[in-house]
Amino acid sequence: MASSGTWTSSNVTGTNTNLTSLSPNSTYNVRVQTVCNSSSSSFSPIVNFTTLNQSGTCNVPGGLNATNITSTQAQISWSAVSGAISYILEYKVSASSIWLPVNVTGTTHTLSTLIPNSTYNYRVKTICSSNSSAFSPTSNFTTEEEQSGSGYCSSSGQNASLEWISRVAVGTINRTSGSDGGYFDATFMSSGVPRGRSQTLIHRAGYSGENRMLYWRMWIDLNQDGDFNDSGELLVSRSSNSSNDQYVSYLIPHSATLGSTRMRIQAKYNAYGDPCETFANGEVEDYTINITDLYGLPAEGEGQELNIINEIKMFPNPVGDDLNITFQAAQYLDLNIQIIDMFGRVLKEEEYHAQEGDNRFAIPVSELISGPYILILKNGNLIKNYRFIKSE
């Protein structure tokens, strides 16, 4: 053994031998001497080798510790293991059954993009040259509450592996995704939404197994005071276990403050949630909404009605390619038909000639992106408005 001052001799008749009864995880010195009939040579230069751990296994890491914990980060450290080439650090939200692995060559690693105010489990195992250890006993840490400049409270799902928010479409916002781990900050995405008009939220759930019941809620900070606690700020509350697009109407009141504000979409398994809740299963997404006024467009019930046409039908709704309009006209007339988006921008405008009696027009809309729109029928100053949804 390299640390010993005593050499052990072994007579060998060939050019190789097996050394046995060695100590595990130890460095040895080896030298060779030639023995002839009448004399012997000098010893060869010394060479070294190191035995593996006992029984060929790696030791389990110890001394696990979590420090420098913030709302989204934590530094994990452990004691070094002799003979280790690298380590596997695994972590997960405590409510989840799915471990997330990280290969680490040292004995520290900083976990990032964690969910605020959530408890995490973590464990480590050693990787040696020919095998690996078992995992260490599981340790825990809890992230801090979110401290952001926005002032909004945090909300998230601790486990989004079974069900999550797959799609949100509001105005010009149209985001599809897989699981984002319980929370996604999409406040970089913004859409204008007008006051005083019925709007449509499209939401869709993603599932990895059984379609369990999700309880959906949407809040908008209508008075821009940094919370969702004021009367009327809960605009959508409904349940569904469908994995298809779901359409629900809501109304921004005339009293809402104009300008940019926060919208929160929450999908929680098994029960309705609160806007600042961290819950076991489901997901939360935040967006930016710009509350606007649409000028020059009479709302339903405002202005003079276009009564010279009646029995108006618009189908299908939602629509994919062609939006069909049928009606009866009391006389020949010219119709101006416009399609506008939620910003009030005119996207299509066509002139149609209606005959006395039954009429049917097909308006191509396949080029529109999915979302809500308004169709306007005009004859001079006489107007009718209709809302429809463009599907994918």
pLDDT tens digits, one per residue of 230-288:
999 999 999 999 999 999 999 888 888 888 899 999 999 999 999 999 999 999 999 99
User: Do residues 217 and 266 lie in contact, with contact meaning Cβ atoms separated by under 8 Å?
Assistant: yes
Q: Does the pLDDT value for residue 153 go beyond 60?
A: yes
Lowest mean pLDDT among 17-26, 151-160, 203-212, 217-226: 17-26
Q: Does the pLDDT value for residue 149 go beyond 60?
A: no
Q: What percent of the chain has pLDDT over 90?
A: 46
Band (8; pLDDT cuts 50, 70, 90): confident
Q: Does the pLDDT value for residue 55 go beyond 60?
A: no
Which residue(s) pair with 67 in the sheet?
75
pLDDT tens for 361-392 read 999 999 998 888 888 887 765 567 788 898 87
Q: Does the pLDDT value for residue 344 go beyond 70?
A: no
CA angle 379, 390, 343 (to 5 degrees): 65
Burial class (CB in 10 A: 0-12, 13-18, 19+), 309: buried
The per-residue pLDDT for 305 is 42
3-class SS at 254?
Answer: coil
Could you give the CA distance from residue 182 to residue 158 in angstroms, rounded to a whole number? 6
Q: How much is the average pLDDT of 83-108?
A: 90
DSSP 208: S
Judge if pTM exceeds 0.85. no
3-class SS at 55?
Answer: helix
Amino acid at 203: H
Whether a cis peptide bond, with omega within 30° of 0, leads into 318 is yes
Could you give the CA distance from residue 85 to residue 172 in angstroms, rounded to a whole number? 51
The per-residue pLDDT for 246 is 95
The residue written with tokens 């520290």 in the block is 108
Q: Does the pLDDT value for residue 300 go beyond 80?
A: no
Q: How much is the average pLDDT of 318-344?
A: 84
Burial class (CB in 10 A: 0-12, 13-18, 19+), 259: exposed
Q: Does the pLDDT value for residue 115 go beyond 80?
A: no
The per-residue pLDDT for 53 is 57
Could you give the CA distance from residue 42 to residue 145 in angstroms, rounded to a whole number? 72
Select the more confidently predicted residue: 301 or 149.
149
Q: Does the pLDDT value for residue 193 go beyond 90?
A: no
The per-residue pLDDT for 296 is 37
What are the chain's domains?
1-51 (no CATH), 65-142 (2.60.40.10), 156-292 (2.60.40.10), 309-390 (2.60.40.10)
Select the more confidently predicted residue: 73 or 140.
140
Band (142; pLDDT cuts 50, 70, 90): very high
The per-residue pLDDT for 198 is 77
Q: How much is the average pLDDT of 60-80?
A: 92
Q: Does the pLDDT value for residue 315 go beyond 80?
A: yes
What are the two backbone dihedrals, phi and then psi, of residue 54, each rounded to the nearest 5 degrees? -60, 135
The per-residue pLDDT for 297 is 44
Select the more confidently predicted residue: 131 or 35.
131
